[in-house]
Structure 1
Amino acid sequence: MSIGVDIFSQELKHSLSNLSINELREFLNKSSLPASLRVRNTRNEHISNLNKAYKEEELVLVLGAGVSVPYNLPSWGNLLQKLLFETFNNSNTNTDVPLVLSKLFPELFPNSPLISARFLEEYFKKKDTEKTFEEMVKEALYEQVNRGADSPTIKEILQFCIAPGKSPNLDSVITYNYDDILEGALLSSNVEIPFKSIYKVGMNPKNGELPIYHVHGYLPQEQEIDKDYSITLSENLYHKQYNDIYSWNNMVQINKFKDKVCIFIGISLTDPNIRRLLDIAMLQKGDKPKNHYIFKMKYNPKEVERNLEELLSRNAPLLNEKVKANLNLDETSKQLLIKMEEFEELDAASFGIKVIWINDYKEIAKILKEVRTS
């Protein structure tokens, strides 16, 4: 549930480690992609386009786990670890043992988080416990939550949400988070903001209500969790959502991706179902599609250089060639960084999304304010 930057993907690491020095140079020195495919518009152009969409009441905020990070909610990996702790806790009296085992288990037996979540869901469904799986997830989710945390991004999102019934008006919010951080902030604000959390079929906002679509499910902290509060956590539920193209949550996403201008905040483009829905929406947009926008953290050049040096040091034949050829690590890492960002921009562009590069997450609030007020 947290976001971060993976400096080199496993596939890229493997590919680079098998390149000769001449092949590496050829990769780095290949001519740039055609100008028609370039997506490096300036930040001011992005802000201007987003402001236009906001004034035309076509702007949708799409929120991922990164938005909730300041409130000390667990990452997805940590959430699964908390649930795994409970499976060991049932058979041990020493409270330290389950904690150690739950940390060691995924390291010794690495598995896909989706597969791990599926195991945990099936385990707790079959286990005779007083709590449902969703209740246990909710407990783990809010165990150390800090609702008093300062989040400039959430504060700025609230400014967008104040307008329901007025003009300009935010179209809606789509969130992939289970938590009620945004709802809590709305209720705690000094301004009465009508909104409706939507997490199942048949729920519709009234006139003047801002819809907040929890398309992966919703687990509000203070409400009793019943069967309506199912969440998309494990592999089998992802498969169900993937196969049911006409489910309410898929239809909401397709319609917003097709007809509105979305800005993705605190989210990556790695979820296969989101990528599929963006593809479907692209096919339905027509000849002059509207662009979406996504915030992405720029890669740290020094961190890229450190990773490259570590990669080369683990590959003796390539390291020897590097020494002979006097390969400049600083220059090489810079060229790799440029190429990687170009790849990411082109990947996003294939879904009709333009990248707004940032150097610090604090920039997001500043840019959102410019979108709202420019």
Structure 2
Amino acid sequence: MKLDVNEFIDDFGRCMEEGAAGLFVGAGLSIPAGYPSWQAIMKTCLSDLKLSKKFDDMPQLAQHYQDNIPGGRDRLTQLIVDKIQGVPNPTPTRSHELLAQLPVNVLWTTNYDTLLEQSHPGAEFFTDDDQLAGPSPKAAECRIYKMHGTIAPKSHHTTHRPERARIVISKDDYEEYPTTHPRMWALLHAHFLTRTFLLSGLSFTDPNLEHIFRLIRLMKSEGPRPHFAILRKPTDRRDQRPHELKLGELERVGIQTLEIAEYEDIEDILRQLVSRSRPYRLFISGSPIDVNTNGGSISYEEDEIPTKLMSFAKCLGAQIHTTCDRIMAAGGVGAQVGYEMARQLNFRGKYDPECLILVRRYRDEEVDYPNLRIGKLVFTGKDPNDLRQAAFKQVRAMVILGGQRGSMSEYEQALKLHLGIIPVGMTGGTAQQVWGMIERNFDNYLLGGRKVNRQDFDLLNQPNEHAAAQATLRLAQQALYKI
């Protein structure tokens, strides 16, 4: 079944929260890093075999080469090694970096390159079936299984001979895999039974899809978990119908698909998944609109917060614990929300220092306002940008109250990171500006991957602070994927 991207983000996000997610990475994720496609790698084989350029069955092509060209297996292996090692300075892409930020500790790949290892430096990786025969050499938070072998980047320290590159490539290799790699196959089977996998970097012609089909067909009677695939649409119109048939086949074996135009589109989807999987915490942003803070670099005293803004901050704080008991705040306005929330939790005997984190920049002078001994005070970076980058890695959504230039910078950065953004327009300043920008494009405004209730959004800009606070809480629940 074709998926809406926001539906997919929510569904797979829940699997990550449960600790029951896995990743299966195909060759498409390595192409933006400069690695060749299968078609480019096998071009020489087509020429040597005197075949037409249109030959999508790569394992069969490899089998023909192996069977009909003298020394075919060694020559084919060396050809692939040369192509993989011929990529200059291979570096993980942004998509690889985003994968490393997801709370997923099991990754499978059919890729020969080492981009996943580079982007997961603390991971334990397995490249050969024999590695699974004994005890694990170390306790790793993440494990990478390279089910078709590996080819290290070329350097003056390493050389690879054909016989040493034990890779899966030919049709025989694919068909005999359960026998030649019994431990890998059994473990992959177990993981697909107990986890929900996301398959990315694949196209409808990718031979590795057959691996997955074969595996899931074997598990059909065992009640397999649902799985997801990100598939690139074909660029050739003649491939459209085969592509549609492949989607139908995927659906029949329990794989829901999300289609993309280019492999580069995976990056945006992964960025949304990273946002969805961040800690369950709400960021409160804002500052008085009539106090000069020089973009957030100058602090201000409590009595400089306008009465109306202070009143709303305390009103929101008194109720926010019913929606989210974990917030992060920067500056005096956000601190007031947090202080009031902490007081309410303390009154109910539920106070925990982790409920409130106040973030501040490193300063040479003494700590100034806010400095109540409640919650946790964390110093991060020496300028507002450092503070925001650190803070936004620890939250899922942001509420904007008032605000000036610094708050607008926070909004722009949060937007790029796909955080849920709730601007309380009635507090003025940046919040009102952002409310107006969203209002003009309201049909595209989403929180938690879903459309926003128009009445709640309008209440954010109404003068009734209690109604605005209640609307903020309802939208915060949605932005945090709580409802």
Q: Is the pair's TM-score, using the shorter chain for normalization, greater than 0.5?
A: yes
Q: 1:147 corresponds to which residue?
A: 90
Query: Alpha-carbon deviation of 1:145?
Result: 4.2
2:260 — aligned with what? 358
Tell me the SS of whatever aligns to 1:347. Answer: helix
Counterpart-to-counterpart distance in 2, 1:367 and 1:124: 43
Q: Which residue of 2 aligns with 1:178?
A: 112
What is the match of residue 145 of structure 2?
Answer: 213
The Cα of 1:206 is off from its aligned counterpart by 2.9
Change (3 A) 1:137 1:110: closer
Deviation at 1:46, TM superposition (A): 1.6
Q: Given the alignment, which residue of 39, 56, 78 partners 1:77?
A: 39
Aligned to 1:212, the other structure's residue is in SS state strand
SS at match of 1:249: helix
Tell me, yes or no, if the aligned pair for 2:2 and 2:259 is still in contact at 8 Å: no
Q: Alpha-carbon deviations, 1:109-159, whole Å to 9, x = none?
A: 9795434323444578848x9x776444312322234524x7332221122
2:126–2:144 Cα contact (<8 Å) kept: yes
Cα separation, 2, equivalents of 1:238 and 1:200: 14
AA matched with 1:202: Q
Kindly indicate which of the two structures has a greater share of residues assigned to strand: 2
SS at match of 1:266: strand
Q: Of residues 227, 242, 260 in structure 1, which corresponds to 2:195?
A: 260
Q: 1:106 aligns to what SS in structure 2?
A: coil
How far the C-alpha of 1:294 sits from its partner, in A, is 0.8
Q: How does 1:29-48 map to 2 (within 5 A)?
A: 39-48=1-10
Listed one character per residue, the Cα deviations across residues 25-82 of structure 1 (whole Å, up to 9, x for unaligned) are xxxxxxxxxxxxxx35533222112111112222111011101111222222322234
**Pick from 236, 243, 248: which aligns with 1:346?**
248
Instruction: Say if 2:23 and 2:108, in contact at 8 Å, map to a contact too.
Output: yes
TM-aligned CA deviation for residue 372 of structure 1: 2.6
Report the alpha carbon displacement of residue 282 of structure 1 after superposing the two structures with TM: 2.8
Distance 1:372 1:196 in 2: 23
CA deviation after TM superposition for structure 1 residue 267, in Å? 1.3
Q: Per the alignment, in what secondary structure is the counterpart of residue 157 of structure 1?
A: helix
Aligned-CA RMSD value? 3.6
Task: Report the equivalent of 1:51.
Answer: 13
SS at match of 1:208: coil
- How far apart, CA to CA, are the structure 2 residues paired with 1:108 and 1:170? 39
Q: Which has the larger radius of gyration?
A: 2
Give the residue type in structure 2 aligned to 1:241. Y
- 219 and 341 in structure 1: CA distance in 2 versus 1, 3 angstrom threshold: closer
| Aligned counterpart, 1:195 | 124
Percent of residue pairs identical: 19
Q: 1:174 to 1:290 in 2, by over 3 A?
A: same
Give the TM-score normalised by structure 1.
0.60
CA contact (8 A) 1:173 1:212 kept: yes
| CA distance 1:361–1:114, shift in 2 (3 Å) | closer
Amino acid at match of 2:201: G
Counterpart of 1:64, as a letter, is G
Counterpart CA distance in 1 for 2:198 and 2:69 is: 37
- Cα separation, 2, equivalents of 1:366 and 1:265: 13
In the alignment, which residue of structure 1 is the partner of 2:346?
A: none
Taking the aligned partners of 1:40 and 1:115, their CA distance within structure 2 comes to 29
The CA distance in 2 between the partners of 1:354 and 1:205, in whole Å, is 36
2:218 counterpart residue number: 280
State how many pairs are aligned: 266
How far, CA to CA, are the matches of 1:182 and 1:41 in structure 2? 26
Within-5 A mapping of 1:180-329: 180-187=114-121, 193-203=122-132, 204=136, 206-222=138-154, 223-225=158-160, 229-241=165-177, 244=179, 247-268=182-203, 271=207, 272-285=210-223, 289-298=224-233, 304=237
Give the 3 Å change call, closer, same or farther, for CA 299–273 of structure 1 in structure 2: closer
Give the whole-Å Cα distance in 1 for the aligned partners of 2:79 and 2:11: 43
Give, as a single letter, the amino acid of the residue that structure 1 aligns with 2:124: F
Kept in 1: contact 2:192–2:225 (CA 8 A): no
Change (3 A) 1:125 1:216: farther
Return 107-116 or 136-145, whichever deviates more: 107-116
Pairing 1:118–2:50 present: no
Structure 2 residue runs without a partner (length 5+): 277-483
Structure 1 Cα separation of the partners of residues 230 and 21 of structure 2:
15
Change (3 A) 1:125 1:274: farther
Does the 8 Å CA contact 2:105/2:141 hold for their aligned counterparts? no
- 1:252-285 CA distance string (max 9 Å, x none): 2211221101001011455333311121133222
Q: Per the alignment, in what secondary structure is the counterpart of residue 290 of structure 1?
A: coil
Matches of 1:110 and 1:41, distance apart in 2: 30
AA aligned to 1:282 is: K
The change in CA–CA distance for 1:117 and 1:171 in structure 2 (over 3 A counts) is same
Distance 2:261 2:43 in 1: 30
Matched, 1:106 2:82: no
**Partner-residue secondary structure (3-state), 2:167:** coil
Of residues 70-79 and 220-229 in structure 1, the stretch that sits farther from structure 2 once superposed is 220-229
Q: Which amino acid aligns with 2:108?
A: I
Query: Deviations 1:170-223 (Å, cap 9, x if unpaired)?
Result: 131100111112223445xxxxx3332433233346322421111112122255
2:271 equivalent to 1:369 = yes
- Summarize the Cα distance change of 1:357–1:120 in structure 2 as closer, same or farther, 3 Å threshold: closer
Moved more, 201-210 or 42-51: 201-210
